[in-house]
Structure 1
Amino acid sequence: MTRQEEKQQLRAIVRRLEAALAPEYKAKSARSIAHRLLAMPEYQEAQTVFCFVGTDREIDTRPILEDALAAGKTLCVPLCTEPGHMESRQITDLNQLVPGRYGLLEPTADTPVIPVDAIDFAVLPCVTCNYLGQRLGHGGGYYDRFLSQYRGGTVLLCRELLIRQEIPVEPHDYPVPWVLTERGLYEDGIPAPLG
């Protein structure tokens, strides 16, 4: 089995697991993860924050987006520009998010592009990951391309019940230093204090 086939197989397994999660657990874990993220000093000190807009299958990031705006941070969210490529776009209001490619909420095309090197702190999604920060995304390569250029603080959000020990990785897959679940923060695989 090739690495790509292993990834596809694991995506299918985890998506079935995610679909079977109780709605109460999903809501409670998402609230806990957002609460923990907002307590991270790296988030609090960041002037420019990049954060994905969560879908029904992902962590609800609305509390993070709202907090960043209320705190006066420069908030950037992804805009898919072509297959496999996204730009970091600044929004000043959640009403600037509209259904875009693949049904994802995205910023409108007239929002300003923020260079990757201007971002202080990035919040990334995954289908699954391990505590070492090896992630499995949806397969489009969007975040791998982002991570190949970005050198700031980065955290992956994942529900504890979807964490896996073994993640098939390829040379272009970049690990993320922090993994945040409802149970806590992990730095390079080791439980880390929050603030």
Structure 2
Amino acid sequence: MGAQEIKAEKKRIRALVKEAVKALDREYSRQADEKIREAILSLPEYQKADTVFCFVSMDTEVDTHQLIQKMLKDGKRVAVPRCHGLGKMDAYEINSLEEDLKPGTWGILEPKESCAMISPEEFQLAIVPCCSCSHDGRRLGYGGGFYDRYLNKTEALRAIVCREEIMREDIPTEEHDLPMDLVISEEGIWRLR
């Protein structure tokens, strides 16, 4: 497959996954998200980490709001992304979901300007979102390339979270697509590297 064909295939799969997400049962999603949260908290890498990077979930994604609250309660330094410009993002430390976040790019909650930037070298674990992913760690993002560019700058363990019902094994990859180290769904944890 050539580069244009891969891009077209990714676009096609994104559209299919978007429809599948709309059809997910609310209770299934809630229970799956709870199991995913428990799996993350059980990771030895989470327990050892001082600083954790975690995306702030949108309605359709695996819910990270309770996860972030637990991380803060556990005394972790929590870094969340803020986008600025095409394909560019940085991470900023938050101490409270309520006080430190505001709607930003595309309505996604992002850290306020008053939050301090954290460099990617400082975190040991990164919790990464996806549109979909495969059990072998191929990630289908939303098409902006934000996470591939940003996570390329860190040695942190990259853990992708996805509900089993929207996982796919036919995700094509391009050279710039970063493989993940862990895949976490409600069915378990796949350690890849």
- Give the TM-score category using the shorter length: over 0.9
Secondary structure, aligned partner of 1:185 = strand
TM-superposition CA deviations, 1:81-123 (whole Å, max 9, x none) = 1121110100011121111110101110121110000111100
How many residue pairs match? The answer is: 189
Determine the structure 2 residue equivalent to 1:9: 12
Kept after mapping to 1: 8 A contact 2:81/2:92: yes
Partner Cα separation in structure 1 for residue 170 and residue 13 of structure 2: 10
Gaps of 5+ in 2: none
Is 1:165 aligned to residue 169 of structure 2? yes
Q: Partner of 1:37 in structure 2?
A: 40
**Cα distance in 2, alignment partners of residues 88 and 44 from structure 1:** 21
| Residues 65-104 of structure 1: pairs in structure 2 closer than 5 A | 65-95=68-98, 96-104=100-108
Is 1:184 equivalent to 2:188 in the alignment? yes
Which residue identity is paired with 2:179? P
How much has 1:35 moved relative to structure 2?
1.1
Task: Give 1:44 deviation, angstroms.
Answer: 1.0
Q: Give the secondary-structure state (helix, strand or coil) at the position aligned to 1:36.
A: helix
Which blocks of at least 5 consecutive residues in structure 1 are unaligned? 190-195
Residue type matched to 1:119 in 2? F
Shift of 1:38: 0.7
Distance in 2 of aligned mates of 1:92 and 1:56? 22
Distance 1:144 1:68 in 2: 24
Q: Is the 8 A contact 1:51 1:123 kept in 2?
A: yes
Match of 1:118 in 2: 122
Instruction: Give CA deviations for 1:12-69 in whole Å, capped at 9, x if unaligned.
Output: 0011001100111111111111111111111111000000001111000012101111
* Correspondence for 1:151 among 141, 148, 155: 155
d(CA) in 1 for partners of 2:16, 2:62: 18
Aligned to 2:145: 141
TM-superposed deviation, 1:147: 2.1
AA at the equivalent of 2:72: L
Residues 83 and 90 in structure 2, CA contact (< 8 A), matched pair in contact too: yes
Q: TM-score, normalised by structure 1?
A: 0.94
* SS of aligned partner of 2:115: coil
User: What is the 5 A alignment of 1:20-59?
Assistant: 20-59=23-62
What TM-score, normalized by structure 2, do the two folds share?
Answer: 0.95
Name the amino acid aligned to 1:46: A
| 3-state SS of 1:83 partner | coil
Q: Pick from 75, 90, 110: which aligns with 1:106?
A: 110
Which amino acid is 1:128 matched to? S
